[in-house]
Amino acid sequence: MRSLQQHRKDTLKPPPSFLLNGGNVGNLLQSMDWSSAPLGPPNTWSPHLQAVMATLLPAQAQFVLFWGDAYVALYNDAYVPTIGTKHPQALGRPAQEHWSELWDDLEPLLRGVRETGQTFWAKDRPFYMERRGLGETVYFDVSYSAVREADGSVGGVLCLVADTTERVRFQQRQAFLLELGRTLPGLGGAERIEAYAVQRLAQELGAARVCFGEDRGDGSGFRVAHDWVDGVPSMVGEHDYASFGTSLREQLAAGQVVQQAYETQANGLCATLHAPVLRAGRLEAMLGVHFHSPRQCFEDECQLIEETAKQTWAAITHARAERALHLLNESLEDRVATALAEREAAMLQLHEAHKLEMIGQLTGGIAHDLNNMLTPIIASFELLRRHPQSERGPRLIEGGLQAAERARNLVGRLLSFARRQTLKPQPVSLAALVVDMRELIARSLGPTIAVQVQIDPALPAVVADPHQLELALLNLVVNARDAMPDGGMLDITAGLDSDGPPRPDGVAAARLLWLQVRDGGCGMTDEQLRRCIEPFYSTKGVGKGTGLGLPMVQGLALQSGGGFAIDSQPGQGTTATLWLPVSDVAAPSRDTDWPEAPQADRPCRVLLVDDEEIVRHATAAQLRDLGYEVTEAGNAAAALHLLDQGWLPDVLVTDHVMAEMTGVRFAQRMRERQADLPVLIITGYANLTPRELKGFEVLRKPYRQAELAQSVARLLANPR
């Protein structure tokens, strides 16, 4: 054993040069006690091993090198998160000591590379690994290559890895939920739905027991009607929450997923997880998943269990409501008075179940569309990362941008329905807008419906987002078409507030224009008219409408500072009227559009403020590419500190939704210091009206570089 004095002398020696840029792992390699290590101190390593480590340690990719017959593990900082709690004990030690749980799987792969010298490559390769306490199946893209010594022999195996666990588990979860959503509606009875769902979830997770516990409503107990078990007792019957934990019901009622582990097996179980099913803030049921062996359900598995619980319970509730309605109708003649009240309650329950089903269908459709858009984006960037100089690069980039543009349009429509789309109001000519849409309207209506447009081109422009206004008008036209299945006449008219129908209550704008769509169709009853603006309510029958069109039109009107009203009578048609504020300036002509991505025409200092680092860096790169001098700040306080030091920008570009201060409020603070400072507010999820924007220019996320360039150039060309 070396003396303490000798160890101190060794630590005073300068570190080997190949460890100098090695980050935290490099520092550990310098300070480790190598007296009992198989490799010995780093300065005694072979030149080839030192050369490989000099390249491996500072790399940003995840590398691990297994060296020698003992497969001594050497890796870089980027690889540390991949092995979790194995670090730092695994560093410089034989791999079998710390990879014992997967050694029977890993060792043959490493040995094959050492013996043959051939590279082993695999995509989404599964490994069973203990890196967060308990074991779990993880997935990696791997490439194992031989590293040779000076004499040509294989000294070790260099492993390039990429952790794909999160993506693989997401795909598995989506596939499971999609299959479940397709199967459950066709099973019929609630009992069959419940039995199928618990069996499939148990098979997916390898559980010992899965069951739904329906809350009894007494605050203390639940009942299990059916369960799936493997080697443990059945739970069918009545139970108390307290037997599974004194605070279990309170946690479930608060919407929490509750996991519990047992040091000794209780009835053959070592771990349980309970997920709540809430409706209108009330606990209706819980989904229990129980395991034979110790188990920690991580975030992706918890999400799978929660989504399965919601989806299955909605199907069960729907099936029960339909069954109850069927039984009521069978004996309706004998129990008229009582049955009317019960039938109404069942119909309400069925209506709520239909709403949940519609939400599920809508969510599934959106997820499907977004997955279709994200797939080419991810694929393009992965190929560009692997082959950055590929001749296919421009084509991959263009494909990714096209998919991103489609995703942006889809999110915009969703935000518009949710009344969370930050509109980009500008002067719009109603006459020009309808002329541009004439062909689209005609195709949407078909040959049996004639269109009559009466809009004076001399009418003043309105202040609205042109794209959302087009979508609103198209929704009204399609509703009119569905109300006239045998054909008819559709009138689209517009006029000044003083010449038309009375304006709705609560509209603050002084001057308004109205846009009216009138059909001669079937009309609506008083009950239908009262509920037609309600989200998910539709008069078109099952499968013919989502009930989202009119809420979207009303959302656009309210966000634009106007109003919306519908008048209808059965057999006499429907008239929908949209009020919008009048613009003080004329709508721009079509030949005044900005050229794409105008470059900065003079030196210009841009202050960019955004608390999301990745978004801020991307925006800064776009602005610098346009020729602007960009100074970044992570929040309003940091930006104000720059001004306190005497630095002044030529233009301010700021995100709106920030933790400490909104972008609009920060821009007002900046205007107190620089009264004529041009300001561009960037936002992607904020319910802002023109009045709340305080007159600042706004750019919606996500945006193309050309849109950013046009906005900044317009501000500099027309300062406040």
Report how far residue 613's alpha carbon sits from residue 143's, in angstroms, rounded to the nearest whole number.
32
Say what the pLDDT of residue 589 is: 62
Most confident listed range (64-73, 215-224, 438-447)? 64-73
Mean pLDDT, the chain, rounded, equals 82
* pLDDT of 64 above 90: yes
Say what the pLDDT of residue 4 is: 39
* pLDDT of 267 above 90: no
Pick the CATH number of 331-417 from 3.40.50.2300, 3.10.130.10, 1.10.540.10, 1.10.287.130: 1.10.287.130
Query: Once rounded to an integer, what is the mean pLDDT over residues 359-374?
Result: 60
In sequence order, what are the beta bridge partners of 629?
605
Closest CA to 114 of 80, 144, 136: 144
Determine which of 38-47, 407-416, 466-475, 610-619 has the lowest per-residue pLDDT on average.
Answer: 407-416
With pLDDT > 70 as the criterion, what percentage of the chain qualifies?
A: 82
* pLDDT of 541 above 60: no
**Higher local confidence (pLDDT), 96 or 688:** 96
The torsion region of residue 627 among left (phi > 0), alpha (psi -120 to 50) and beta comes to: left
Say what the pLDDT of residue 264 is: 54
- 482 CB-side CA count, 13 A: 14
For the stretch 631-644, pLDDT in tens is 999 998 998 999 88
Say what the pLDDT of residue 158 is: 95
Say what the pLDDT of residue 598 is: 78
Say what the pLDDT of residue 232 is: 87
* pLDDT of 296 above 80: no
Report how far residue 221's alpha carbon sits from residue 219's, in angstroms, rounded to the nearest whole number.
6
For the stretch 107-139, pLDDT in tens is 999 999 999 999 999 999 999 998 877 788 899
Report how far residue 481's alpha carbon sits from residue 540's, in angstroms, rounded to the nearest whole number.
11
* pLDDT tier for residue 224 given thresholds of 50, 70 and 90: very high
In sequence order, what are the beta bridge partners of 427?
463
Query: Once rounded to an integer, what is the mean pLDDT over residues 437-452?
Result: 81
* pLDDT of 500 above 50: yes
Say what the pLDDT of residue 361 is: 55
One fold for both 426-581 and 594-717? no
Say what the pLDDT of residue 265 is: 57
Contact 479, 549 (CB under 8 A): yes
Q: Is the peptide bond before 702 cis (omega within 30 degrees of 0)?
A: yes
For the stretch 306-326, pLDDT in tens is 889 898 988 888 888 888 887
Sign of the four-CA dihedral 382, 388, 392, 395: positive
* pLDDT of 8 above 50: no
Report how far residue 405's alpha carbon sits from residue 364's, in angstroms, rounded to the nearest whole number.
20
* pLDDT of 530 above 80: no
Report how far residue 531's alpha carbon sits from residue 539's, in angstroms, rounded to the nearest whole number.
10
* pLDDT of 592 above 50: no
Say what the pLDDT of residue 121 is: 95
Q: What is the 3-state secondary structure (H, E, C) of 487-535?
A: CEEEEEEEEEHHHCCCCCCCCCCCCEEEEEEEECCCCCCHHHHHHCCCC
Pick the CATH number of 169-313 from 1.10.1740.10, 3.40.50.720, 3.30.450.40, 3.30.930.10: 3.30.450.40
Listing DSSP states for 68-117 in one string gives TTTTEEEE-GGGHHHHGGGTTTTTTSBHHHHSGGGHHHHHHHHHHHHHH-
Report how far residue 256's alpha carbon sits from residue 138's, in angstroms, rounded to the nearest whole number.
26
* pLDDT tier for residue 272 given thresholds of 50, 70 and 90: confident
Say what the pLDDT of residue 115 is: 93
With pLDDT > 90 as the criterion, what percentage of the chain qualifies?
A: 23
**Domains of the chain: which residue ranges?**
4-163, 169-313, 331-417, 426-581, 594-717
CATH topology assigned to domain 4-163: Beta-Lactamase (3.30.450)
* pLDDT of 5 above 50: no
Most confident listed range (40-44, 74-78, 168-172)? 74-78
Q: Is 650 helix (H, G, I), strand (E, B) or coil?
A: coil
Report how far residue 515's alpha carbon sits from residue 359's, in angstroms, rounded to the nearest whole number.
31
User: Do β-strands 221-224 and 209-215 pair in parallel, antiparallel, or remain unpaired?
Assistant: antiparallel
Which contiguous run of DSSP H or E holds residue 219? none
* pLDDT tier for residue 17 given thresholds of 50, 70 and 90: confident
Own/partner pairs, 146-149, CB within 8 angstroms, 24+ separation? 146/113, 146/114, 146/117, 146/118, 146/119, 147/48, 147/49, 147/52, 147/65, 147/67, 148/48, 148/117, 149/46, 149/48
CATH topology assigned to domain 426-581: Heat Shock Protein 90 (3.30.565)
* pLDDT of 144 above 90: yes
Q: Count other C-beta atoms under 10 Å from residue 437's C-beta.
A: 18
- pTM of this prediction? 0.42
Closest CA to 456 of 473, 437, 431: 431
Cα dihedral 634→639→640→645 (10° resolution): 130
* pLDDT tier for residue 445 given thresholds of 50, 70 and 90: confident
* pLDDT tier for residue 415 given thresholds of 50, 70 and 90: low
Say what the pLDDT of residue 483 is: 85
Kindly state the tokens that stand for 361.
């269908």
* Cα–Cα distance list, 644 to 34, 341, 641, 668 (Å): 53, 71, 5, 16
* pLDDT of 199 above 70: yes
**Higher local confidence (pLDDT), 547 or 209:** 209
CATH topology assigned to domain 594-717: Rossmann fold (3.40.50)
**Higher local confidence (pLDDT), 363 or 662:** 662
